[in-house]
């Protein structure tokens, strides 16, 4: 890549996001895979990457060249270097354990399972801390502080995060509405959204249609969107004024919520702190 400084993983992902709309259909498949499986890019060969994306290896080469690399190997070196910069013990154990499970091992003890899952959760938290987009986080906090009312939407796996945020934000003076889709009432709830409101939308691949639809309709009504998701290339990210990216690890086919919940708690604490500043201190949170 032509640059004054050597490229890093975050820089590559940011460039992919900027150029996403102009990519071909095949290149978009590769782009989504690269962002969501960056830990694998430095380890897998070009044939494996192409197979995961459902494209030919030549498409992967063209994708790398589109980003300014000489080919796949040069792009892969950036991701391999990114892996080596992370805390190796926990991450490498997580990767080995996942490969053991995918290989069909049947002799794992309950403690093995617990250790593997907790290791994956720790790795996700480490990645979130190291990769937190400071500008996007500050924008999200500012938008929530300034909003007349905050709406929080998340269903299925994301419901736990959304319900926590709604609960926590009710400890402030903000008016807060939880959009749960209970009884398919989200279409009625969105009619109460007004310009000046903020919507926190939480969803991850393959992205809940209820959440995306509510966010789209709320945006049309003038609300500002804060997205908590796993990709800058999805439709939700395009609608958002602030997009907070979190990549929780999947262990034994079960995706943790540790990183996402940590991000949600951090967001609440930052908002509550800003809201309390003019009043000179905490006002006694309800429990």
Of all residues in the chain, the percent with pLDDT exceeding 70 is 79
Q: What is the CATH number of the domain that holds 77?
A: 1.10.10.10
- Interatomic CA distance for residues 268 and 285, integer angstroms: 13
Domain match, 140 and 192 both: yes
Q: How many domains in the chain?
A: 3
Averaged pLDDT, 257-271: 90
Q: What is the rounded average pLDDT for all residues in the chain?
A: 79
| Residue 44 domain flag | yes
Domain match, 170 and 62 both: no
Q: What is the CATH number of the domain that holds 187?
A: 3.40.50.10490
- Interatomic CA distance for residues 133 and 24, integer angstroms: 27
Domain match, 182 and 216 both: yes
Domain match, 208 and 167 both: yes
Residue, of 264 and 44, whose pLDDT is higher: 264
Domain match, 138 and 272 both: yes
Domain match, 78 and 170 both: no
Domain match, 77 and 161 both: no
| Residue 185: predicted pLDDT | 62
Domain match, 144 and 15 both: no
Domain match, 254 and 139 both: yes
Domain match, 269 and 154 both: yes
Q: Give the domain extent around 164.
A: 134-279
| Residue 285 domain flag | no
Averaged pLDDT, 140-147: 92
pLDDT band at 139 (very low <50, low <70, confident <90, very high): very high
Averaged pLDDT, 49-57: 90
| Residue 32: predicted pLDDT | 86
Give the ranges where the chain is alpha helix by DSSP (H): 9-19, 25-36, 38-41, 46-53, 57-66, 72-85, 88-102, 110-131, 134-146, 159-169, 186-189, 209-220, 235-239, 258-276
| Residue 286 domain flag | no
Of all residues in the chain, the percent with pLDDT exceeding 90 is 16
pLDDT band at 84 (very low <50, low <70, confident <90, very high): low
């Amino acid at each position: 890549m032509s640059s004054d400084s050597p490229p890093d993983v975050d820089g590559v992902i940011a460039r992919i996001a900027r150029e996403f709309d102009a990519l071909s259909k095949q290149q978009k498949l590769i782009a989504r895979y690269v962002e969501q499986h960056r830990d694998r890019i430095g380890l897998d060969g070009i044939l494996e990457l192409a197979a995961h994306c459902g494209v030919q290896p030549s498409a992967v080469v063209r994708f790398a060249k589109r980003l300014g690399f000489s080919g796949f190997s040069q792009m892969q070196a950036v991701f391999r270097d990114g892996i080596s910069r992370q805390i190796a013990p926990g991450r490498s154990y997580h990767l080995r354990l996942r490969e053991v499970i995918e290989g069909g091992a049947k002799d794992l003890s309950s403690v093995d399972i617990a250790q593997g899952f907790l290791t994956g959760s720790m790795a996700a938290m480490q990645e979130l801390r190291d990769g937190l987009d400071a500008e996007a986080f500050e924008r999200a906090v500012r938008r929530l502080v300034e909003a007349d009312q905050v709406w929080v939407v998340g269903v299925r796996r994301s419901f736990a995060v959304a319900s926590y945020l709604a609960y926590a934000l009710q400890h402030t003076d903000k008016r807060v509405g939880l959009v749960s889709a209970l009884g398919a009432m989200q279409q009625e709830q969105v009619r109460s959204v007004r310009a000046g409101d903020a919507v926190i939308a939480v969803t991850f691949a393959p992205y809940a249609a209820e959440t995306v639809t509510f966010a789209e309709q709320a945006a049309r009504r003038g609300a500002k969107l804060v997205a908590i998701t796993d990709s800058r290339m999805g439709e939700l990210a395009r609608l958002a004024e602030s997009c907070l990216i979190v990549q929780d690890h999947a262990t034994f086919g079960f995706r943790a919520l540790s990183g996402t919940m940590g991000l949600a708690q951090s967001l609440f604490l930052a908002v509550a702190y800003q809201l309390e500043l003019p009043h000179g201190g905490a006002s006694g949170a309800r429990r």
